[in-house]
Amino acid sequence: MLDFATNRRFGQNRQKMKSMSKIFVVGNWKMNPKGLKEARVLFESIKKSVKKTDKIKVIICPPALWLKELKPGAIISLGAQNCHWEASGAYTGELSPRMLVDAGAEYVIIGHSERRQFMGEGDEIVNLKIKAALRTKLKPILCVGEKAGEEMSLVLERQLTTGLAGLGVNQMKDVFIAYEPIWAIGTGNNCLPDNALSATLFIKKTLTKLYSRFLADKVPVLYGGSVHSDNEDTYVKQARMDGVLVGGASLGAKEFAKIINDLG
């Protein structure tokens, strides 16, 4: 647990900054929906249903080959779900950051637990990918989070320290962190607000150690893991997150738009 002083300090800064900063809502479509026709319908329905507001930035991350097919809107930008760490070369089946930018992506999810689990991505690869994304002006959303039974602070400290190794203060201005406890992803077993708050404060404390308190206050921290329209605001209000990363619930236009509009 974090000490009272750390909790209060970041709490006060967060309150001060909250009126100025945006709330981010990321939709991770994973390998969904089934086809391009459905993707277009979903994207256009979301676009039609969200209220325009300066308070919110929505980042929809469809399968990469549809980035070019979907036209971003007033508050909606596009992101990719992964990128390679090289600019080009003999990497069959992979996409470079530049290719994703050319297709319309402004953001990229890196180190999602499903890639760590199924593709064997470790923290060193994650670090290379973040650096490659930043070189191409693609803003990385670094996913961190513990498995059930693991100590949150130990896992986050390792993932943040190695994942962000070698990044300068200037590069960090474009980095987002998403706290996604693996046991909460796709399970309906979302993290309690108090535990999410501990994660927010631990991430801020680690960023302070690695950089400075000033920078720790500026890097947006999002929560992901079974977010729905009946729990999204607890992560922003109680857990002091800067927004949410939504998987399953981003595949229903009505539900996803409700999450966005409720936060707006």
Q: For the CB of residue 88, give the shortest distance to ligand PEP in the complex, in Å.
A: 29
Cα of 210 vs its chain's centroid, Å:
20
- Closest CB to ligand PEP among residues 199, 205: 199
- Closest CB to ligand PEP among residues 28, 234: 28
* Placement of tokens 């760490």 in the chain: 85
Q: For the CB of residue 166, give the shortest distance to ligand PEP in the complex, in Å.
A: 26
Whole-angstrom Cα distance, residue 133 to residue 117?
Answer: 21
Q: In residues, how long is the chain?
A: 264
Q: For the CB of residue 232, give the shortest distance to ligand PEP in the complex, in Å.
A: 10
Catalytic site includes residue 112: yes
Label residues 120-157 b or e (16+ Cβ within 10 Å = b).
ebebebbbbbbbbbbebebbbbbbbbbeeeeebbebbb
How many helices (H) and strands (E) the chain has is answered by 11, 8
Other Cβ atoms closer than 10 A to 119: 10
- Closest CB to ligand PEP among residues 166, 186: 186
- Closest CB to ligand PEP among residues 144, 205: 144
Both tokens of 254, joined, read: 């009505």
Binding site for ligand PEP (CB under 6 A): 28, 180, 185-186, 224-227, 245-249
Catalytic residue, candidates 112, 121, 146, 232: 112
Q: For the CB of residue 87, give the shortest distance to ligand PEP in the complex, in Å.
A: 27
The DSSP-derived string for 142-174 is EEE-PPTTS-HHHHHHHHHHHHTTT--HHHHTT
The residue sitting closest to ligand PEP, measured at its beta carbon, is 247
Q: For the CB of residue 146, give the shortest distance to ligand PEP in the complex, in Å.
A: 14
Q: For the CB of residue 37, give the shortest distance to ligand PEP in the complex, in Å.
A: 23
- Closest CB to ligand PEP among residues 97, 111: 111
Both tokens of 182, joined, read: 């693996």
CA 235-238-241 angle, 5° bins: 45
Whole-angstrom Cα distance, residue 247 to residue 161?
Answer: 26
Catalytic residue, candidates 114, 157, 180, 232: 180
- Closest CB to ligand PEP among residues 86, 255: 255
Both tokens of 19, joined, read: 């009126």
Whole-angstrom Cα distance, residue 99 to residue 82?
Answer: 12
Whole-angstrom Cα distance, residue 83 to residue 241?
Answer: 25
State the catalytic residues: 112, 180
